């Protein structure tokens, strides 16, 4: 089995499951309960938050636990729009966001907000000039995906942050779901106000995430209720999963620091090198300024679904596009935004690696992949 669909979701580390199980058994009480058992849960929640903050180099009160990346993006985007609508109604984002952002912006448009969608170049990258030009007096939010989930393209987040530095009324949100642990990002240096991460993309449990919210920003909460998470996100905390998620953060960051990122880069480089000369193949992921774990490519003449299923039968797992929309047959909107033809976009697959993958797997993948496309090619002809 070769699992190269880590941008869709990752397998939790065994240590993460141990933490989950232990916490579920020993810290089941509600952290809001004031008895000793509740107090112990609260203590674990506090420790988890402190550790997450330390790993992200932010303050504990800036860490808000959520149910995942979708909630984080929705909360950041709508929470800003609803809280600051009196300051202005202009929002800015890009054409290549994850649906969790795009659909939120579409809802806001329906509510009367004015949204600028920045175009991208062939590499899937926006231009800083376009950001500058689109900024207005009434711009209250700029929201940008750091690492694109389909292409791996990295946006110039730091530079955008610099641009926004002397605009205190414009908040800056970054969707860091794909980049976290694989593409380092200093929130302070990039002047980020809000940043979304998700647990299941970094070998943590599903249903967990963090929204980093710079201290002092009063977002309008999406979930009203018991007032957990400093009043910004109500609902009984999923403590075992939170503790397990923070464990996954620590382990993933450790691996990143201990040569993990370089190993990912070596693996994608090897894939590129081996596949570059094949006449049917072209890379959609740019070679510069892209994440080390994602490689998107078009296989001329072979529809993505056909290839994904053919590989699937041989125990190799890759994807057509982002998992959330992989059921619909339409070509990826992200690839189309880069100027790819409908045909090339319908023939694209995404290979996405994790710290768990090895060069041996890459070599086996290459063998089977080459054979498979050769076979499919003859069938197609």
Ligand X SMILES: Cc1ncc(COP(=O)(O)O)c(C=O)c1O
- Annotated catalytic residues are 324
Closer by beta carbon to other proteins, 54 or else 107: 107
Restricting to residues 231-260, which ones interact with ligand X according to CB under 6 A? 235-236
User: Tokens 């860091």 belong to which residue?
Assistant: 176
Q: Judged by CB under 6 A, does residue 149 bind ligand X? A: yes
Locate 279 and state its tokens.
């006449």
Nearest to 79 by CA among 175, 235, 225, 211: 211
HSE of 23 in the Cβ direction (CA atoms, 13 Å)? Answer: 26
Q: Which helix (H) or strand (E) covers residue 141, if one does?
A: strand 139-145
Closer by beta carbon to ligand X, 76 or else 302: 76
Which member of 12, 124, 209, 240 binds ligand X (CB under 6 A)? 209
Backbone angles phi, psi at 28, to 5 degrees: -80, -20
Residues in the interface with ligand X (CB under 6 A) total 17
- Residue span binding ligand X (CB under 6 A) among the ranges 69-77, 119-127, 306-314, 326-334: 69-77
Nearest to 8 by CA among 75, 112, 80, 98: 98
CB of 50 to ligand X, least distance (A): 23
Q: How far, CA to CA in Å, does 174 sit from each of 68, 118, 205, 273, 351?
A: 14, 15, 22, 32, 23
Closer by beta carbon to other proteins, 3 or else 84: 3
Which member of 2, 174, 177, 334 binds ligand X (CB under 6 A)? 177
Which member of 74, 116, 170, 198 binds ligand X (CB under 6 A)? 198
Which member of 5, 42, 175, 193 binds ligand X (CB under 6 A)? 175
Angstrom distance (rounded) from CA 224 to CA 238:
16
- Residue span binding ligand X (CB under 6 A) among the ranges 66-74, 106-114, 294-302, 304-312: 66-74
| Beta bridge partner(s), residue 290 | 153
Locate 295 and state its tokens.
């490689």
Angstrom distance (rounded) from CA 182 to CA 354:
9
Which member of 12, 31, 69, 88 binds ligand X (CB under 6 A)? 69
Non-local CB neighbours of 178 within 8 Å, separated by 6+ positions: 7, 145, 146, 147, 148, 149, 152, 201, 291, 294
Angstrom distance (rounded) from CA 62 to CA 312:
42
CB of 184 to ligand X, least distance (A): 17
Decide which of other proteins, ligand X, none touches 149; Cβ closer than 5 to 8 Å per partner kind: ligand X
CB of 164 to ligand X, least distance (A): 20
Restricting to residues 324-353, which ones interact with ligand X according to CB under 6 A? 324
Locate 177 and state its tokens.
């779901």
Total length of the chain: 381
Which member of 10, 19, 41, 70 binds ligand X (CB under 6 A)? 70
Would you say the C-alpha torsion 272, 5, 174, 328 has a positive or negative sign?
A: positive
- Residue span binding ligand X (CB under 6 A) among the ranges 152-160, 171-179, 263-271, 335-343: 171-179
Decide which of ligand X, other proteins, none touches 145; Cβ closer than 5 to 8 Å per partner kind: ligand X
Closer by beta carbon to other proteins, 10 or else 338: 10
Closer by beta carbon to ligand X, 89 or else 203: 203
Angstrom distance (rounded) from CA 93 to CA 129:
14
- Residues of the shown chain interacting with ligand X in the complex, contacts defined by CB under 6 A: 68-70, 73, 98, 100, 145, 149, 175, 177-178, 198, 200, 209, 235-236, 324
């Amino acid at each position: 089995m070769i699992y190269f669909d880590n941008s869709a979701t990752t397998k939790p580390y065994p240590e993460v499951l141990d933490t989950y199980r232990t916490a579920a058994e020993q810290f089941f009480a509600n952290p809001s309960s004031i008895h000793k058992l509740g107090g112990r849960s609260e203590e674990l929640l506090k420790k988890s938050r402190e550790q997450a903050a330390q790993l992200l180099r932010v303050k504990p009160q800036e860490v808000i636990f959520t149910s995942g990346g979708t909630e984080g993006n929705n909360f950041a985007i709508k929470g800003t729009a609803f809280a600051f609508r009196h300051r202005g109604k202009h929002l800015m984002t890009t054409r290549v966001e994850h649906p969790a952002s795009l659909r939120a912006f579409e809802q806001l448009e329906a509510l009367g907000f004015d949204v600028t969608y920045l175009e991208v170049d062939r590499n899937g990258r926006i231009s800083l000039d376009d950001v500058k030009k689109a900024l207005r007096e009434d711009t209250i939010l700029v929201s940008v995906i750091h690492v694109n989930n389909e292409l791996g393209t990295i946006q110039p987040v730091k530079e955008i942050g610099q641009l926004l530095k002397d605009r205190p009324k414009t908040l800056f949100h970054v969707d860091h779901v794909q980049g976290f642990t694989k593409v380092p990002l200093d929130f302070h240096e990039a002047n980020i106000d809000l940043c979304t991460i998700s647990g299941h993309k970094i070998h943590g449990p599903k249903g967990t995430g963090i929204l980093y919210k710079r201290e002092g920003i009063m977002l309008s909460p999406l979930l009203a209720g018991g007032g957990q998470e400093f009043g910004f996100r109500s609902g009984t905390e999923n403590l075992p999963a939170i503790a397990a998620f923070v464990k996954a953060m620590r382990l993933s960051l450790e691996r990143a620091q201990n040569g993990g990122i370089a190993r990912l880069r070596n693996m994608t480089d090897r894939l590129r090198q081996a596949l570059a000369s094949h006449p049917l193949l072209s890379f959609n992921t740019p070679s510069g300024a892209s994440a080390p774990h994602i490689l998107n490519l078009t296989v001329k003449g072979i529809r993505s679904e056909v290839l994904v299923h053919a590989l699937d039968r041989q125990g190799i797992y890759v994807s057509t596009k982002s998992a959330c929309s992989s059921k619909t047959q339409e070509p990826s909107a992200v690839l189309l935004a880069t100027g790819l033809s409908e045909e090339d976009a319908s023939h694209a697959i995404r290979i996405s690696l994790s710290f768990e993958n090895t060069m041996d797997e890459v070599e086996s993948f290459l063998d089977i992949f080459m054979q498979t496309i050769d076979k499919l090619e003859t069938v197609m002809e």
